[in-house]
Amino acid sequence: MTLLLRLGALVLAAGLCATTHAQPLSSPDARGLPTLAPLVNEVTPAVVNISVVTRSPMENNPLFRDPFFRRFFGVPERQQQQKEQAAGSGVIIDAARGYVLTNNHVIKDAERAIVTLKDRRQFTAKLVGTDPGTDIAVLQIEAAGLSALKIGDSDAMQVGDYVLAIGNPFGIGQTVTSGIVSALGRSGLSVEGYEDFIQTDASINPGNSGGALVNLRGELVGINTAIIGPSGGNVGIGFAVPSNMARAIMNQIIRHGEVRRGRLGIEMADLTQELAKKLGVNSLEGAIIAVVQAGSPAEKSGMREGDVVTALNGRPIRNAAELRARLGLTPIGEEVEMRTLRAGASRVVRTQIAAPDVSTGDGQAIAQLPGMRVIEIQRGSPLFQRLNGGGLVVSAVDQNSTAWVAGFRPGDIIYSVNRRRMQTAAELQNALRGAQSYAVGLLRGDFNLTITLR
């Protein structure tokens, strides 16, 4: 038994050294036993705890913000509101400027966010911006002596690579777990549409959200985001936003305060056995173009329904979710190169991501979503045809307003609430009045999103 354990230790040590190519972070200790302690000591100072104070349900209710309602029902103007504490994690990625990456759901509805470092120093963070579509947010703190994690290339990850998950589960303090990459390119976990998750069996528990997934070089390869578990606990199925996606989102948030998604003008779907056979395609890898919108950049570049996209900017495309996510990260005005198959022949298409085709004007205010204004889409508009009916364009959203925090952005096209079609501002306000929760369906660029309000 002892011999088997020693052999296992030697195999593990060899595997760690071969994987990291960085002897100081994975060498055996003085006893000759394999250890990850040098790696952990190197990276954990860059992983922080995030505590937030959120608005109470009463504060979020528009009726309680109405002075007439408060006077009519005798609600004191300065009523003491209960605050809710929540805990998550974050990763310092720029020590000089104090930028911290985390999940949007960690800081959603936060009035104040407190970042606690490993050395127990605490700082009130400034919210730089969020992107609900990828569940990424960027905070900033003013502090000296910070440690930052180097961002690695998540595209280079392979199933079977060793990884560490670092975070603050259940608020008990910083914790490190280890495992391997179980799968890549996971999607279908939410309705947001921008998904390309790394799956790992390294334990990710409540409070780990926003924490670091690192490889054995000590590089950040993912932001821990979600788990699948029958009781809310870890069962070895955790998910992280790839570092390349998080970096692209972070760069736009730092530059613009938000992510500005453009339009290519396509709708896509996964290949099936039947479709592949019909199209003469020998593989199920790729995404089939289901719709090409009239007058769009895709149509102008020569793309057609039935084309199969196999690569984007030189990188293979596995499925429709991956293509959707990667196009959603491409800045407006940037040219993309797509390799496609048509009738068995390979061709290269180059086209430019365009700005969304939205209407102009001041718009109408929505009482239930302060800070947002909308414009009704008129019959005869290209948007009307694109939606096969009416809808509303979000013409303006004040930063840090209720609507902004909920995730609405200028250019969003609202078409439904709780699956009921919306065509006018009056219909939208009526739908948002009285229900306990709302699922608002909208288009952002090429993609369908759902924003849930409670």
* Interval 364-378: pLDDT, tens: 888 888 889 888 887
**Averaged confidence pLDDT in the chain:** 80
**Extents of the domains making up the chain:** 2-35, 36-260, 266-352, 364-453
Banded pLDDT at 17 (limits 50, 70, 90): very low
Q: Is the dihedral of CA 340, 342, 347, 351 positive or negative?
A: negative
Active-site residue 178, yes or no?
no
Classify domain 266-352 by CATH architecture. Roll (2.30)
> For 146-274, where are the E strands, in sequence order?
162-167, 175-186, 197-200, 212-214, 220-227, 238-242, 266-270
Q: Between the CA atoms of 138, 248, 20 and 45, what dihedral angle is there, to the nearest 10 degrees?
A: -10
pLDDT of 8: 34
Question: In whole angstroms, what separates CA 332 from the centre of its chain?
Answer: 18
Q: Which two tokens stand for residue 33?
A: 């036993």
CA 249 vs CA 146, 213, 399: distances in Å: 22, 17, 18
Q: Which of 89, 187, 203, 209 is catalytic?
A: 209
**Candidate list 109, 131, 135, 412, residue with the active-site label:** 135
Q: What is the pLDDT of residues 283-324, one digit of tens each?
A: 888 889 888 877 788 888 999 988 999 999 988 888 888 888
Q: Could you confirm whether 21 is annotated as catalytic?
A: no
Q: Which CATH architecture has domain 364-453?
A: Roll (2.30)
pLDDT digits (tens, 9 = 90+) for 227-285: 776 655 567 788 999 999 999 999 989 988 888 778 888 888 888 888 888 887 888 88
Strand residue runs (E) in 358-437: 364-365, 372-376, 392-397, 413-417, 420-421
Among residues 27, 56, 105, 161, the one annotated as catalytic is 105
pLDDT in tens, 110-144: 888 999 999 889 999 999 988 888 889 999 999 99
> Around 386, how many Cα atoms within 13 Å sit in the side-chain half-sphere?
30
pLDDT band per the 50, 70, 90 thresholds, residue 6: very low
Greater pLDDT, 173 or 76: 173
User: What is the pLDDT, as a whole number, of residue 250?
Assistant: 94
User: Residue 179 CB: number of other CB atoms within 10 A?
Assistant: 17
The model's pLDDT over 136-182, given as tens digits with 9 standing for 90+, comes to 999 999 999 999 999 999 989 999 999 999 988 766 778 899 999 99
Catalytic annotation present for 105: yes
- pTM, 2 dp: 0.69
Q: How far apart are CA 193 and CA 188, in angstroms?
A: 8
Domain spanning 36-260, CATH class: mainly beta
Confidence band, pLDDT 50/70/90 cuts, at residue 425: confident
Across the range 211-237, mean pLDDT stands at 83
Tell me whether the CATH fold assigned to 36-260 matches the one assigned to 364-453: no
Q: Which residues are 166's β-sheet partners?
A: 176, 212
